[in-house]
Structure 1
Amino acid sequence: MTERQWPTREEWQAKAEYSVRTLCTRWERLPHDARFITAEEEAEALAWALEAAKRLRPPLTAEINRLRVLVPDRPAAGRARVRWWLDLSEEKERVANDLSALEDIRRTVARAAREKAWDTVGGQLGRLYRHQRRIMLDGGLDELCERLNARAVEVAARRDAEAVRLEQKAIEREVARRATDEAWEKELEWRARVEQPRVTRISSGYGE
């Protein structure tokens, strides 16, 4: 059996930062209840989202209805729809894909508005803006989309900054810990247990 090559104390100390960074992602260090938006900012974002959901529904429904006319034989759901989809021409498949995406956006936005999930509404508006910009222009939703996206970027930046701060603090603690004799002794004890694992004998229960 090949003897395990353990790092020297200096090498072990030098890997303190690597150990911290690979133990978990920096975002896993954030408290589960951490919030990076004020109550006022959240109320403002929610107002934008609810207004956007209200203004989005008419043009979105109009486009959904227009596309449904182009695929009148589309089954409601299930295996029948899958079989129908496989037989579509390239043009009809494009229509069916657009229709399915818009129906999903309408459902998601309506649910997010009920649940007061302003960031989800913003994400769906961004999805529309990337792929169905005409609806956004017709509905006059561009400005609301930009506001919600900017707010989401701000919140994400605060979250990332705090995650970086907590990770750096953890690195500093680990570097300081590994510089102590006590930590090195514990490391050597752990290595010894790895090299000589305890074997537990299990009795068969016969003649013993």
Structure 2
Amino acid sequence: MTTRAWPSREEWQANAEYAVRTFCTPAERLAHINPEAVWSSLAEDIEFEELATEAAKAARPLLTQEISRLRQAFPDRPAAGRTRSLWVIKLEGQRYDDACNLGALEEMRRNLQRAVRNGNWGEIGWETGRLYDHYRPAITMGPALCDAVLRMRALNAAARKRHDEAADAVVEAAVVAEIARRATDEAWQQQLERRASIDSPRVIRVGAQTSPSKGDQVT
């Protein structure tokens, strides 16, 4: 069996930082260390819930109005399923775009209704954000709804910033710890043993028969 060319001890030690940074993502490392962490404050969560509740209430009639307008333009639209998909594919130009928008807005309204029932405030933020980004000015969103969408984004961004900073700190600490670990004789010995087990793996024989123990015998 050919033995692979392993790096020297000096090369292995120099590779410590690279090994840490490529083992997993910073977010995965943080989740492993602190899986229950919450990156928003209680006050922020309450504010987000209030904003999402009002945003959903304001967005639903706007969606219904635009959905009704688009439906009137497609009296021949099939109810659902494969028939509708084939119908959409045959459309061209603005009619194709309008039909796709109609389906997307119907889905958005369903998602908002479900999110309100389930108290999924984050999904409300996501769906009203889609409305803000992709359906203005065709759908006129009032200043209060626009402000709510932007504020929810700001709250999400603040929580995400805290998360990312914590994840980066965890990685930096892991790099320092791994560099220190690889500098020890004990870690090097463990590395040599690992290499030996890879170069000379144990052979496990398959198919060997053994007599059942007394407790395994069926009477």
Number of the residue aligned with 1:4: 4
Number of the residue aligned with 2:18: 18
CA deviations on 1:170-189 (whole Å, 9 max, x unpaired) are 11111111110000000001
Describe the shift of the 1:184–1:84 C-alpha distance in structure 2 as closer, same or farther (beyond 3 A): same
Describe the shift of the 1:137–1:201 C-alpha distance in structure 2 as closer, same or farther (beyond 3 A): closer
Deviation at 1:2?
5.2
TM-score, normalised with respect to structure 2: 0.88
Deviation at 1:90?
2.1
TM-score, normalised with respect to structure 1: 0.92
Q: Is the Cα contact below 8 Å between 1:128 and 1:136 reproduced in 2? A: no
Deviation at 1:136?
4.7
CA distance in 1, matches of 2:207, 2:113: 64
Unaligned runs of 5+ in 2: 210-219
* Paired amino acid for 1:69: Q
CA distance in 2, matches of 1:130, 1:203: 63
Task: Give the alignment's Cα RMSD to 1 decimal.
Answer: 1.6
The higher relative CO (CA closer than 8 Å, separation ≥ 6) is in 2
CA distance in 1, matches of 2:21, 2:155: 29
Answer yes or no: is 1:168 the counterpart of 2:172. yes
Give the 3-state SS of the residue equivalent to 1:199 in structure 2: coil
Number of the residue aligned with 2:93: 90
CA deviations on 1:84-137 (whole Å, 9 max, x unpaired) are 112212221111111111111111122222222222212212211111113253
Answer yes or no: is 1:65 the counterpart of 2:71. no
CA distance in 2, matches of 1:20, 1:38: 31
Number of the residue aligned with 1:121: 124
Moved more, 88-97 or 145-154: 88-97
CA deviations on 1:58-78 (whole Å, 9 max, x unpaired) are 111101100111112111211
Deviation at 1:57?
1.0
Q: State how 1:124-135 maps to structure 2 within 5 Å.
A: 124-134=127-137, 135=139
Q: Is the Cα contact below 8 Å between 1:56 and 1:139 reproduced in 2? A: no
Describe the shift of the 1:136–1:18 C-alpha distance in structure 2 as closer, same or farther (beyond 3 A): farther
CA distance in 2, matches of 1:5, 1:38: 52
Answer yes or no: is 1:200 the counterpart of 2:200. no
Unaligned runs of 5+ in 1: none
* Paired amino acid for 1:64: I
Q: Is the Cα contact below 8 Å between 2:56 and 2:128 reproduced in 1? A: no
Q: Is the Cα contact below 8 Å between 1:129 and 1:136 reproduced in 2? A: no
Q: Which runs of 4+ in 1 moved over 4 A?
A: none
